[in-house]
Amino acid sequence: MEKYIEQLIDDIRKATWNIRPPHEIWEQSGADPSKELELEDISYVEEFVYGKKERISKITGIDAKLLPPVKKLTSAQQARLAIELENLLNYFHFVLEFPENYPADLRYPFIRKIWKKKYVPMSFGDTHIELCSFNEEKCPFPGHCTTCKEIAVEMKCDEGIGDSDYDPQVDELIDFEMINGFYDDDGNKIDPNSVTIPGLCVICMQYQLDDPEENLLCLMNRYDQRNETDFTCGAFEKLH
């Protein structure tokens, strides 16, 4: 198995030689990836408007069948593969949302599991892949994660702010700006309150910003992924 691991790691590193040309919208838009605002805007369009999902195995060039079952590997081998595979994912603009300092060997089963899932390949920016459903009773990282507790605290704070700072006129203005022109495929206007807010949003720096335009983009993202099992967001930035 050790010789196989060495060969697989070599193949994983060589996979970074597979350079994907940027999506044609980048050339059409004339956007500059070195400018943060342009990068965020066009990356969003690439992923959620023109993006077509592909399996991670196809995007990276590493077939899922090449990844050995967990039970056939030692902890050290799992750790080595996890590090190499996560580096490869980062190369292709995918960021796995593990708890900080989560052991490398424990990451391998999660990485192997997502290898057959489909995501939109990106030219620039990052696609954050959430690995939990934010259900504390079914936490996939027991003893290593406090995110659910952080969400609970954040939601309580939001409720408190809502009670004390509520302004009907401002609230109506923001609601109008958020839903004006936002319709489903049948031409029905979308009620923002009907769109589920994923746990990933609650711990994001962008959540409930005093910016109607930004809120609208977030709302569109949530609505577009309302039937997806895994919620992803290229603009996600975790609260500090």
% of the chain surpassing 90 pLDDT: 35
pLDDT in tens, 62-105: 999 999 999 999 999 999 999 999 999 999 999 999 998 899 99
Residue 114: pLDDT above 90?
yes
The whole-model pTM stands at 0.63
The residues with which 95 forms a beta bridge, in sequence order, are: 128
Find the mean pLDDT for residues 175-182. Answer: 49
Token couple for 13: 């590193």
Q: Quickly tell me which residue has 């952080």 as its tokens.
A: 150
Token couple for 44: 């969003």
Cβ proximity of 81 and 67 under 8 Å: yes
DSSP E strand stretches across 88-212: 94-97, 118-119, 127-130
Domain coordinates in residue numbering, the chain: 2-131, 147-227
* pLDDT at position 239: 67
CA-to-CA distance for 203 and 240, rounded, in angstroms?
9
187: left (phi over 0), alpha (psi -120 to 50) or beta: left
Find the mean pLDDT for residues 18-42. Answer: 81
pLDDT in tens, 139-171: 889 888 878 877 777 777 766 655 545 455 444
CB proximity list for 174: less than 8 A, separation 6 or greater: 212, 215
* pLDDT at position 196: 80
For 233, the enclosing helix (H) or strand (E) is strand 232-233
Q: Quickly tell me which residue has 């004390």 as its tokens.
A: 164
* pLDDT at position 238: 75
Long-range CB contacts for residues 26-32, cutoff 8 Å, separation at least 24 = 26/123, 26/124
% of the chain surpassing 70 pLDDT: 85
pLDDT in tens, 7-28: 999 999 999 987 788 888 888 7
DSSP state of 124: S
